[in-house]
């Protein structure tokens, strides 16, 4: 996996025009990344800023305090469960939360994930407090955009999608263009990543040799993880799905997850 922290600003980027921009923020356990878009064009992107920048900004005071047209914040989950829309009701959130073993320092949210599923998830209150600087009406489940972007692009029944962020990997699969599987695992080595990929294909009754893996996030085509997965699966390649206009020097798979938050610009928490 790459240890490089990307930072990009378009030559025409100016906070004086912030009212025309959308700010996308994706938070993980200890840091956050941001992307700024002008309509559907990426004009700024940076990774791995400290969460302390929200409460006591040092590097990003002007950027975070600017008045944007829209703000979308992707919240991470320390645990989650999917509930069919037909079974979900607002007054039953506490019942569904029992499956999550919620700790005193965690807060539960619920949100439509697609037309058929609601995701009920818990997030550390420290992160919630950081996000409140922008207002929680702007928050979505961190991977909602990524899931939506893939769902819109005719996923195959034998395609498995991975998004890697540090030592976390998310797996996504569809059947007849409907969400069939979504889960997340922690891994440390390429062997562990291959193990979880094999575990998921087994659960889905897929044959690895006939399964195509499309990977986004913190990975390069030459990484050991790619070559290790290629030993078992029919096709393994970076996910080149592009939801924004990008400069030539930025590979679309690197920021697919945060870029796809742009699809959630009008989303609201349930």
Give me the CATH number covering residue 73. Answer: 3.30.420.250
Looking at the structure of the chain, the number of domains it has is: 2
Residue 201 and residue 133 in one domain: no
Mean pLDDT check: name the lowest of 16-25, 135-144, 146-155, 159-168: 135-144
Beta bridge partners of 175: 178
One domain for residues 2 and 37 = yes
Distance of CA 118 to the CA centre of its chain: 16
Q: Would the pLDDT of 2 be above 60?
A: no
Q: Tell me if 251 is assigned to some domain.
A: no
Residue 87's pLDDT is 92
Q: pLDDT tens digits, residue range 24-58?
A: 999 998 899 999 999 999 999 999 999 989 888 88
Same domain for 229 and 99, yes or no, is no
Tell me, yes or no, whether 111 and 217 share the same domain: no
Range of the domain at 197: 154-240
pLDDT band at residue 132, thresholds of 50, 70 and 90?
confident
Q: Are residues 110 and 232 in the same domain?
A: no
Contact 219, 225 (CB under 8 A): yes
| Whether residues 228 and 266 fall in one domain | no
Strand pairing category for 139-141 and 159-165:
unpaired
Same domain for 59 and 111? yes
100 exposure class (CB count in 10 Å sphere: 0-12, 13-18, 19+): middle
Please, what is the Cα angle at 120 between 115 and 121, to 5 degrees? Answer: 130
Question: Does residue 1 carry a pLDDT above 50?
Answer: no
pLDDT value for 229: 96
Whether 146 maps to a domain, the answer reads yes
pLDDT at 92 over 50: yes
> Has residue 266 got a pLDDT over 90?
no
Residue 17 backbone dihedrals phi, psi, to 5 degrees: -105, 20
Structure-model confidence comparison of residues 212 and 219, the more confident one: 212
Are residues 23 and 46 located together in one domain of the fold?
yes
Same domain, 159 and 193: yes
| Residues 145 and 162 placed together within one structural domain of the fold | no
Report pLDDT for 136: 63
Do both 137 and 187 map to the same domain?
A: no
Residue 77: the pLDDT is 95
Domain identity same for 135 and 10? yes
206 pLDDT higher than 60: yes
Query: What does the radius of gyration of the chain's CA atoms come to, in whole angstroms?
Result: 18
Q: Is residue 165 part of a domain?
A: yes
Averaged pLDDT of the chain? 92
Residues with Cβ within 8 Å of 4's Cβ and at least 6 positions away in sequence, in order, are: none
In a domain, 248, yes or no: no
CB-based contacts of 228: which residues, under 8 Å, 6+ apart?
Answer: 190, 191, 193, 194
Q: What gap in Å lies between CA 64 and CA 127, rounded to an integer?
A: 16
How many other C-beta atoms can be found within 10 angstroms of the C-beta atom of residue 94?
10
* 250 domain residue, yes or no: no
| Residues whose CB is less than 8 angstroms from the CB of residue 46 and which lie 6 or more positions away in sequence, other chains included | 5, 6, 7, 8, 33, 34
- CATH number of the domain enclosing 166: 3.30.420.40
């Amino acid at each position: 996996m790459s240890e490089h922290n990307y930072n990009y600003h378009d030559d025409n980027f100016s906070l004086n025009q912030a009212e025309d921009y959308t700010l996308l923020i994706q938070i993980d356990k200890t840091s956050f990344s941001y992307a700024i878009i002008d309509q559907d064009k990426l004009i700024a992107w940076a990774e791995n800023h400290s969460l302390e920048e929200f409460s006591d900004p040092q590097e990003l005071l002007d950027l975070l305090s600017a008045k944007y047209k829209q703000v979308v914040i992707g919240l991470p989950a320390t645990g989650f469960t999917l509930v069919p829309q037909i079974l979900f009701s607002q007054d039953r959130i506490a019942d569904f939360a029992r499956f999550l073993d919620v700790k005193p320092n965690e807060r539960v949210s619920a949100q439509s994930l697609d037309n058929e599923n609601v995701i009920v998830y818990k997030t550390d209150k420290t992160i919630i407090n950081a996000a409140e600087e922008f207002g929680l009406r702007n928050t979505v489940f961190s991977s909602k955009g990524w899931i939506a972007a893939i769902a819109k692009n005719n996923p195959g029944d034998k395609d498995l999608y991975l998004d890697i962020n540090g030592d976390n990997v998310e797996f996504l699969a569809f059947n007849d263009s409907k969400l069939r599987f979504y889960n997340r695992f922690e891994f440390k080595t390429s062997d562990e990543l291959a193990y979880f990929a094999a575990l998921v294909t087994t659960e889905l009754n897929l044959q690895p040799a006939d399964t195509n893996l499309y990977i986004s996030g913190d990975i390069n085509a030459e990484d050991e993880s790619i070559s290790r997965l290629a030993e078992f699966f029919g096709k393994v390649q970076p996910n080149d799905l592009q939801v924004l206009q990008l400069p030539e020097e930025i590979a679309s798979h690197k920021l697919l997850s945060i870029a796809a938050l742009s699809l959630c610009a009008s989303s609201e928490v349930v």
